[in-house]
């Protein structure tokens, strides 16, 4: 599994080998990054891939010094379950 930031498409992408299995969209607005949507392909849901994708995206965003605005319910839920990502 590998998470890549795709700046052209404004999303983080989760790959299993050559298969794209998930995306997390983002919009940079100054010192914040809005995350409006996250999706895992239906046949791969329920195996923790969303958590893996969101964790990598949040780690990457944190490294830029920007704050996250979790519009996506899944990102907001992840942050609630992992308070070290709050703030």
78-85 long-range Cβ contacts below 8 angstroms, 24+ apart: 78/50, 78/51, 78/54, 82/55, 85/55, 85/58
Q: What is the pLDDT at residue 54?
A: 98
Task: Report if pTM > 0.85.
Answer: yes
Number of domains in the chain: 1
The domain of 32 spans: 2-85
- Coil, strand or helix at 30: coil
Q: What is the CATH number of the domain that holds 32?
A: 3.40.630.30
- pLDDT, tens digit (0-9, with 9 covering 90-100), for 33-51: 999 999 999 999 999 999 9
């Amino acid at each position: 599994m590998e998470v890549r930031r795709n700046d052209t498409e404004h999303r983080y992408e989760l790959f299993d080998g050559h298969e794209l299995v998930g995306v997390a969209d983002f919009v940079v607005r100054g010192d914040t990054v809005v995350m409006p949507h996250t999706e895992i392909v239906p046949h791969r849901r329920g195996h923790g891939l969303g958590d893996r994708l969101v964790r990598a995206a949040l780690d990457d965003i944190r490294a830029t010094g920007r704050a996250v605005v979790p519009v996506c319910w899944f990102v907001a839920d992840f942050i609630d379950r992992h308070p070290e990502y709050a703030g």
